Each structure stands twice: as C-alpha cells, then as structure tokens.
Amino acid sequence: MTLYNYLFPQVALVPRGYNCTAIVPWRLIARRLQRQDVEVVATWCVVADGVEVARMERSFGPANSRERAPQIVFEWNAGDLPNPDEAVFGEIEIATAGRIAAFADRLPVVGYSLAWKRDRKVVMSNPAYKYGSPQIIEMVSTFGSFVEGFPAVRIDRRRDIGQSIVMINPYLRPIVVDVVASDGRPLPRMRVPPRSVRYYNLDVLLRPGEDTWLGQIQLTASNRLINYMSKHALSDTSIVSDLEHLDPYRSDPTHLPLTQRWRLVFGELREKRRARARAAAS
C-alpha cells in the first residue's frame, strides 16, 4: 500500500471584518497514520490580496495518543490587518515532519471554521479542497470547464436581503469568471487576482425599478476556484447570516446501486486492515 507524507490542503473563507477560529480534529488525522513514531505538523496561514499576513503551526507527536484526541485550534484576529474590513482566506496544511510517508491516503479531514465578530452572528463553514477534489477533477476532465451553480438566490430591496458570491483564488494566476442568471439577463465578468478574494454582489441582478429577483445562477471560470454564497443584508455585506458552498456541476454518478456501494466500503476496510497489519509487522 502506498503511504503519503501529507494530506490535501484546504482553504477556508474569512468574511470581511470577521475574526476566525479554524478547528481540525486530531483524532481524524491519527486514524490515517500507519506509523505511530512520526510527528505531524499542522499549519494555518492567512492570505490577504496576495500577501501572507499570518502563519501559525502546531506539532503533534507520538505522545498525543488517539485516546486524548486533542483538537487543533487556530485563531486569527482581523484587527491584525491594516484594513480590518479586507476579505482574506486561510489555508490549512497537514504534513509529517521530515516528509516521512505515514498517511494511508491524502484526503483532508472534515473540520470547520468559525467566523465571528462583536455584535454579529457566528457563521460556520467547511473548508474546501485547494486541489485534489475527485468531483472537480472529473468535471473538468469531462466538460473541459469549471462550472458551479446555486439553486436559490433571492435579492429583495424592501426586506434588505442580499447575496454575494465570494470567490477565492488561492493559486498563482488570475482567474476570469462569468456568471449566468436563470432568466438570461446579462451580468458583468469578474477577474480574481492571484491569492486573493473578491465579492461578486448579486444586487447587479436587480434592474432599475425592480425590488426583488428570484432564481438560480451558474458560473464558469478559466480555472478552478473556491466559491461560497454569502447571505447578508443588502445594505451591508458585513452583516452575514449564512455561508454555503456552491454546487459543482458533477459528471460522476451521484447514485450507486446498494450492492456496489457496499463492495466499495468493504474493499476500503479490507485494504486499511492489511495496511495496519503490514505497518505493525515492519
């Protein structure tokens, strides 16, 4: 069985003006380890407009047993920025010290991040793959393009209801994004610079004289990027009520026969047992 020295990195959104707490459960990382004599290093870095503004590390060694199961917690305060209202993103990296191959696979663990601010609601979101997502790889391979959508958009001027697509480009090249509305009305393009975050405020869906728009949106991009739908007050994007990820336009089968699903589950369990047995014997 092939072992790996890192897990796929993840990217978390930090909304404008919010502080952030990122939590990664060590217990889930420990389950992936096929060697118990290695040290694991978790890194959290915060990036604002192409500049790394913070970096934190936590190390866990053999003394951190599975029974203790500590949480890996990173906290960052927006007050550390020259402009506290600037949108930023965080990257979570998990790797072994010395790059020793010890993980059974490279899939990231399921953690979460909390965005919080005085006098504001705490908003929770799940970090996304920076790269390596099977659904995204299959999508681009099949359709030759990156496509995501969101099924329920509501903009209401009278009720102060707004939404924005928050686009994160954690890569080294700019990305051009086209957004399409379900009723075909023209919308402007967005260019997201490298290692940056941009807000695409969907109030552009409202034509002069309109107070409400209901429908769906879809976006295509010149490269993969990470998108969240921010639901907020139309008059103030910093008053956030919810963060949700957009849905990828999937090409892989989303439903499998029960017998095929069970074969896949049993095959994975058997392979993990064999790997543990080989690691114990070595």
pLDDT tens digits along 46-70: 999 999 999 999 888 764 544 455 6
2.60.290, 3.40.1360, 2.120.10, 3.30.2420: CATH of 134-248: 2.60.290
How far is C-alpha 173 from the chain's CA centre? 19
The residues facing 24 across adjacent strands are 72
pLDDT per residue over 134-182, tens digit each? 889 888 888 888 999 999 999 999 999 999 999 999 999 999 999 999 9
Residue 69: what pLDDT? 53
Measured between alpha carbons, how far is residue 278 from residues 1, 67, 97, 265, 269 in Å? 9, 23, 22, 20, 14
Q: Please, which residues have CB within 8 angstroms of residue 21's CB and are 6 or more apart in sequence?
A: 73, 74, 75, 76, 113, 114, 116
Q: Answer yes or no: same fold for 6-129 and 134-248.
A: yes
The answer to whether the beta carbons of residues 107 and 8 sit under 8 Å apart is yes
Work out the number of other CB atoms within 10 angstroms of the CB of residue 246: 21
Q: Residues for the chain: how many in total?
A: 282
CATH level 2 (architecture), domain 6-129: Sandwich (2.60)
Would you write out the chain's pLDDT as a tens digit for each of its 282 residues? 689 999 999 999 988 888 999 888 888 888 888 887 888 999 999 999 999 999 999 888 764 544 455 678 888 888 778 777 788 999 999 999 988 999 988 988 877 888 988 888 899 888 999 999 888 988 888 888 899 999 999 999 999 999 999 999 999 999 999 999 999 988 999 999 999 999 999 999 999 999 999 999 999 998 999 999 999 999 998 899 999 999 988 776 767 788 888 888 888 888 878 777 776 666
Domain ranges, ordered by start, for the chain: 6-129, 134-248
The answer to whether the beta carbons of residues 108 and 116 sit under 8 Å apart is no
What does the alpha-carbon distance between residue 220 and residue 223 come to, in Å, rounded to a whole number? 9
The answer to whether the beta carbons of residues 88 and 81 sit under 8 Å apart is yes
Q: Please, which residues have CB within 8 angstroms of residue 32's CB and are 6 or more apart in sequence?
A: 7, 103, 104, 105, 109
CB-based burial label for 140 (10 Å; 0-12, 13-18, 19+): middle
Residue 64: what pLDDT? 52
Tell me which residue of 60, 164, 156, 163 sits closest to 109, measured CA to CA. 60
Q: Which two tokens stand for residue 34?
A: 């096929």
Residue 68: what pLDDT? 54
Q: Please, which residues have CB within 8 angstroms of residue 223's CB and are 6 or more apart in sequence?
A: 146, 171, 173, 175
Q: What type of residue is 137?
A: I
